[in-house]
Amino acid sequence: MKQQTSEQLFGQIQDYIEHLSYMREPKGLYEPIEYVLSLGGKRLRPVLMLLAYNLYREDVEQIFPQAAGIETYHNFTLLHDDLMDKADMRRGKPVVHKKWNENTAILSGDAMLILAFQLMLRQCPAEKMQRVMEVFGQVALEVCEGQQWDMEFETRQDVSVGEYIEMIRLKTSVLLAGALQIGAILGGASDEDVRHLYDFGIQAGLAFQLQDDYLDVYGDPAVFGKKIGGDILCNKKTYMLITALNRADESDRKELLRWLGACDFVAEEKIAAVTSIYNRIGMAGICEEEIEKYYSKALEFLNKVSVDASLKENLRTFVCRLMNRKL
Amino acid sequence: MKQQTSEQLFGQIQDYIEHLSYMREPKGLYEPIEYVLSLGGKRLRPVLMLLAYNLYREDVEQIFPQAAGIETYHNFTLLHDDLMDKADMRRGKPVVHKKWNENTAILSGDAMLILAFQLMLRQCPAEKMQRVMEVFGQVALEVCEGQQWDMEFETRQDVSVGEYIEMIRLKTSVLLAGALQIGAILGGASDEDVRHLYDFGIQAGLAFQLQDDYLDVYGDPAVFGKKIGGDILCNKKTYMLITALNRADESDRKELLRWLGACDFVAEEKIAAVTSIYNRIGMAGICEEEIEKYYSKALEFLNKVSVDASLKENLRTFVCRLMNRKL
């Protein structure tokens, strides 16, 4: 079977998304949508969907609408999340509620969510539509649930690691897993394979999000792409912070809480102090172990998928690279 | 064929909506949704859908999920519109962004939109799903377009009557028409009947919205249910205001613009002054004629629907009452 690498699939879906024309009236509604979709990104979810489909079928172009649909949904969540988080920039560009205004961010976001459903339905084979739409609806709702937990956690100091993992499962993992699942369903995979690919996505998503938390503290700024310590500065309840609040001794915990409550501080000092507390707990090791645990679980689920190992190579390589692992 | 009156259908769909259980975690996401759906209202769109279906089939309970879906969508638009309009109250109760906060209004609204799609898909016959979802997606998007035009019109003084009619067609009519269309499709109507019922809904929706504009000025406060002159006080670009700006003589137009720009005024004085300008143009007659035009067009489309006249009686009576007409 003719297979394509993730780079090839990226190129094709990127091209497809660029040529989706939303240029109808009123421009005030559709321009922000084109803007958000043109900001780029890794197109992770559509590429995963196409890779899963490509395990079973060659004609990946058949599901470009669904791949674009899941990317449109993802970008809708970024648009509304940025508004709720009062963010200023996304991918180096001003966010919609700054470039336009808050009402535009609300309404164009709503339209994007509807467009995502429309794309998901477009040219979807009749006999698979019910299942595909059930997965998509469920996953879309779970992402909202994840965002709700995330917002509620901001004002709580007693979030457990279990609650945090459940939150990132909903907010990040299920959409990656859903992308793989929909690709597999459309490709005609067995129910078992569909489930394994979903589980692979869940575990890989958790590993990926924990790695993101980890790199915020221990990453190489040149490679990571963001400034180190960003999560620390804004008190983001990451895996690291929650673990530290649970595991630090009395004096470190007090110091940590002091930093969390501080209004006036030198950024470098706060980052250095919190990182020292993390180091005293051995956070790097704890975190690496946790990432490894989810990552190897992910690969186990991928192994269970009943297609020839050589066919799974592109998918494995793609996730491997995302995790900065040796191939 | 056993048919049900709009009152009977209202009772059933009201009961179905009340028993939809959204009580899953996180409560912070789902409680505002239950709140919005429990505020009541006329359930106009689901009743129209059921009445259209009931022209062709008796088993109306088959499409309760779709009827609840269109009502959920409608209530989602109210939730986000109230946020964008910075409204305080809806149906005598505080709106979601006041009772909770703005982020809750955004996110619970998003979840409601997803739930609307899920309901629309629930138990939908496979062979009709593509068509039903195409209509629903299209209509849902057009409602957003209508809201965008409405917001853009707020800062324009040169809106034409044609533009206004197009705006209310999108913001109000297409959802009523779509409800009828989906009911007809699910009932197994011919393509021609589906089209006639859609057109009936469009014209009836325009008549209904224009009547709402009219009653704000010329209604009997005891019957209308809202305070008279509310639209005048907040400079709402209604059919009356646009027509007055276009048709008033030079001195009345200047006075009208002065009232539109006034910041400090006695409410009763502004209402009386603007109403006087309307009266000098003969606005009541102009408006009544326009309502009559759309209303009789609506009835013409209903007449074309190829089922026995006796079967159409419930639908005709329902719209008749909405328009406060003699039966």
Residue B183 confidence (pLDDT): 98
Residue with tokens 């008190």: A235
Residue of B nearest to A128 (CA): B126
> Does pLDDT of B197 surpass 80?
yes
- Average pLDDT rounded to a whole number, residues A75-97: 96
| Cβ(B200)–Cβ(B298) below 8 Å | yes
> What residues in B contact A148, CB-CB < 8 Å?
26, 28-29, 107
B107/A25 CB distance under 8 A = no
Q: Is the preceding omega at residue A26 within 30 degrees of 0, hence cis?
A: yes
Which pLDDT tens digit goes with each residue over A121-136? 999 999 999 999 999 9
- Rg, chain B, Cα only: 21
Of A243, A324, A248, A255, give the one whose Cα is nearest residue A286: A243
Residue A172 confidence (pLDDT): 97
| Minimum-distance CB partner of B151 among A103, A117, A141 | A103
B121/A133 CB distance under 8 A = yes
Q: Which H, E and C letters describe A157-211, residue by residue?
A: CCCCHHHHHHHHHHHHHHHHHHHHHHHHHHHCCCHHHHHHHHHHHHHHHHHHHHH
Other beta carbons less than 10 A from residue A217's beta carbon: 22
- Average pLDDT rounded to a whole number, residues A293-315: 97
Reported ipTM: the value is 0.96
> Does pLDDT of A276 surpass 70?
yes
Residue B327 confidence (pLDDT): 61
Q: Work out the pLDDT band at B157, boundaries 50, 70, 90.
A: confident
**Which residue out of A104, A110, A135 would a mutagenesis test of the B interface target, given it has the greatest number of B Cβ atoms within 10 Å?**
A110
> Does pLDDT of A84 surpass 90?
yes
- Looking at chain A, the whole-number percentage of residues with pLDDT higher than 90 is 91
Residue B28 confidence (pLDDT): 97
SS3 B89: strand
Residue B326 confidence (pLDDT): 66
Backbone angles phi, psi at B4, to 5 degrees: -120, 150
Which pLDDT tens digit goes with each residue over B50-82? 999 999 999 999 999 999 999 999 999 999 999
Residues 6+ apart with CB under 8 A from A196: A301, A302, A304, A305
Residue A286 confidence (pLDDT): 97
- Average pLDDT rounded to a whole number, residues A270-276: 97
| Minimum-distance CB partner of A83 among B84, B106, B129 | B106
> What residues in B contact A28, CB-CB < 8 Å?
148, 151-152
Of B24, B112, B40, give the one whose Cα is nearest residue B76: B112
> Does pLDDT of A20 surpass 70?
yes
Q: Could you tell me how many helices (H) and strands (E) chain A has, helices first?
A: 17, 2
Residue of A nearest to B146 (CA): A26
Residue A220 confidence (pLDDT): 84
Q: Shortest Cα distance from B235 to chain A (angstroms)? A: 19
> What residues in A contact B147, CB-CB < 8 Å?
107
> Does pLDDT of A33 surpass 80?
yes
Q: Shortest Cα distance from B142 to chain A (angstroms)? A: 9
- Average pLDDT rounded to a whole number, residues B83-103: 96
A141/B111 CB distance under 8 A = yes
- Average pLDDT rounded to a whole number, residues B189-206: 98
> Does pLDDT of B296 surpass 90?
yes
